[in-house]
Amino acid sequence: MMSQLSTRIRRSMQNPTTVRDLGKQLYTHLPPSAQEILLSAYFFRKRRRIHNEVFHAKLTELRASEHLQDPDEFRAMQCVLLKPIVSAAANTPHYRDLFARLGITSADISTPEGLRSLPILDKDVVRRDPAQFVDPIACANGSTVAFTSGSTGSPLRVVLAPDYEALEEAFTARQCAWVGLGDRDRRIRLRGDLIVPGSSTTAKPWRRNFADNELRMSSYHLSPKTARYYADRIMRFSPQALIAYPSSANLLASFVRDLGLKCRIPFIFTSSETLTSLQRETIERNLGGVILDHYGCTEATVAIQQCERGTYHVVPEYSITEFVPTSGSTAHDVFDIVSTGLLNTAMPLLRYRTGDRVRIAGDQRCACGRAFPSITEILGRDDDIVVTPRGDHVGRLDHAYKGLSGIAESQIRQESPSELRVLVVPSTGYNDAVEAQLIANLRSRLGDMDILVERVSAIPRGRNGKFRAVISTIPRSPQPSRSTSAESLTDVCAGSPIRR
């Protein structure tokens, strides 16, 4: 039985064409009104599927647990949530072998402290053979597959349990409720969705999704020529919230500023990319809203959400999260995120190093009243770091742009230890003097490096339309790793594919 199920899991990944894929092909050939009907029908079905008993039960549970104040109560809650995750892990080839080598059983890992007996798990180990981490029992009633963005050239496939989307949605709904945003309040969505074909020259690159009372706008068609139409449509739609990639919201805000447009949105929910301090300032000042950022990962191992008071909270009901001192960093307040997700039994990852970093500045109690742990800043990935000729690792270079006018968007690319290329999308006010100041600002932070600025009309996005402010291909010194190696080198997972 188990071998048959494993075979089905592996074969299902070799034919990724689904009804959803066929629907997408049909969608591109329909007129706009029919596209809106098809789009709304799809999200109506998705809404009914996700907003189920699991979703409502979890949301009720979360609304109660956010008022806990005693650390012992949080610990007890995490112990309960950890048990099914560890039990599922014991059914996977990787952890079955690891537990045997360590001479332990799942019963020995019943607390957050018990997790520390396990080695840290690095992403490359999972990427080499994700099937080693899949629990066939948890997938017996179906599963889906999500793909990481693949910014390093090799996306990771993650198997998700049937109830995962409903559980994840409950955490999103709770964050929205922190600012009073209801389930049916109007919202704009400006992310990586291909609402209309990229080659389309339509003057209205957006479509209504009536099922969720939202307007989905294409981030691929936003430009100085179309920004006025975007702003006008947003104002006429009168949304309560904008759901966006930070880069998309920042680009909209930059055009609103530079073209003197009016565009006001009360709340902006950002996720999927690292939100910089300069982006936050540009978005809030020019779109007039309050940003609530969310950090998570496709691997479903951690969630960090910003509350209505602006504090980044580690969400304790979502994961057991550790902050490990970063190898190679001279900053004493910068840590790697190592986390164990508490939602996804299909592919449990214990003490998983996400590859992202945070800054922590002491224990701070937030004015929101929640006793959740907090962090100061999300810094982003290791490959978002510039390495200087001296060997220093420098992140958060958005400060180099502060006070400079006429830069709609910019991306730093490093392919050599001594040289940077800076792609700039110029806007109103950009000139040689601004460019010279940008180079000087970067050199003041990076030292003596060759810096070449290239003026471009647009900066390419990666998979799923995501934007990266820094792309570095400089080899890193290997981090000390206590992770184990996978035995097999096949690359297969279960379920029907979805992209996140």
Lowest mean pLDDT among 79-83, 232-236, 274-278, 396-400: 396-400
SS3 147: strand
Q: What is the DSSP string of 233-279?
A: HHHHH--SEEEE-HHHHHHHHHHHHHTT-----SEEEEESSPPPHHH
Interval 12-31: pLDDT, tens: 444 444 445 556 677 778 88
Q: Is 259 part of a structural domain of the chain?
A: no
Cβ neighbours of residue 107 closer than 8 Å, sequence gap 6 or more: none
Distance of alpha carbon 365 from alpha carbon 372, whole angstroms: 8
Between strands 290-296 and 214-217, the pairing is unpaired
For residue 432, what pLDDT is reported? 93
For residue 178, what pLDDT is reported? 97
Distance of alpha carbon 165 from alpha carbon 494, whole angstroms: 16
Q: Which domain holds residue 454?
A: 387-472
Q: Which helix (H) or strand (E) holds 296?
A: strand 290-296
Distance of alpha carbon 188 from alpha carbon 195, whole angstroms: 13
Going by the DSSP 8-state scheme, the letter that residue 413 receives in this structure is: E
Q: What number is the average pLDDT over the span 395-406?
A: 74
Query: What does the block give as tokens for 79?
Result: 């112990």
For residue 30, what pLDDT is reported? 87
Distance of alpha carbon 299 from alpha carbon 474, whole angstroms: 25
Distance of alpha carbon 79 from alpha carbon 84, whole angstroms: 10
Q: Are 64 and 177 in contact (CB under 8 A)?
A: no
Percent of the residues in the chain that have a pLDDT greater than 70, as a whole number: 84
For residue 429, what pLDDT is reported? 85
Q: Is 314 part of a structural domain of the chain?
A: no
Q: How far is CA 322 from CA 218, 315, 447, in A?
A: 37, 12, 33
Q: Is 429 part of a structural domain of the chain?
A: yes
Lowest mean pLDDT among 142-156, 210-224, 261-275: 142-156
Nearest Cα to 491, choosing from 83, 32, 126, 72? 126
Q: Is 396 part of a structural domain of the chain?
A: yes
What is the number of other CB atoms lying within 10 angstroms of the CB of residue 164?
Answer: 24
For residue 154, what pLDDT is reported? 57
- With the C-alpha atoms ordered 169, 148, 308, 284, is the resulting torsion angle positive or negative? negative
Distance of alpha carbon 99 from alpha carbon 384, whole angstroms: 34
Q: What is the DSSP string of 370-395?
A: ----EESEEEEEGGG-EE-TT--EE-
Q: What is the dihedral of CA 399, 400, 402, 404, to 10 degrees?
A: -170
Q: Is 4 part of a structural domain of the chain?
A: no
For residue 443, what pLDDT is reported? 86
| CATH code where residue 460 lies | 3.30.300.30
Interval 429-481: pLDDT, tens: 899 999 999 998 888 878 788 999 999 988 887 766 777 888 888 765 434 33
Query: Residue 227: is its pLDDT beyond 60?
Result: yes
Which is higher by pLDDT, 37 or 460? 37
Q: Is 163 part of a structural domain of the chain?
A: no
What amino acid is encoded at 334 in this protein?
V
Q: Which helix (H) or strand (E) holds 89?
A: helix 71-89
Q: Are 167 and 192 in contact (CB under 8 A)?
A: no
Q: Would you place residue 485 in the very low, low, confident or very high pLDDT band (cuts 50, 70, 90)?
A: very low
Distance of alpha carbon 1 from alpha carbon 23, whole angstroms: 34
Interval 130-176: pLDDT, tens: 999 999 999 988 889 888 765 444 568 899 999 999 999 999 999 99
For residue 490, what pLDDT is reported? 22
Distance of alpha carbon 179 from alpha carbon 243, whole angstroms: 14
Query: Residue 271: is its pLDDT beyond 90?
Result: yes
Q: Is 279 part of a structural domain of the chain?
A: no
Structurally, the chain folds into a number of domains equal to 1
- Of the ranges 3-17, 237-251, 353-367, 476-490, the best mean pLDDT one: 237-251
Query: Residue 482: is its pLDDT beyond 60?
Result: no
Q: Is 419 part of a structural domain of the chain?
A: yes
Q: Would you place residue 391 in the very low, low, confident or very high pLDDT band (cuts 50, 70, 90)?
A: low
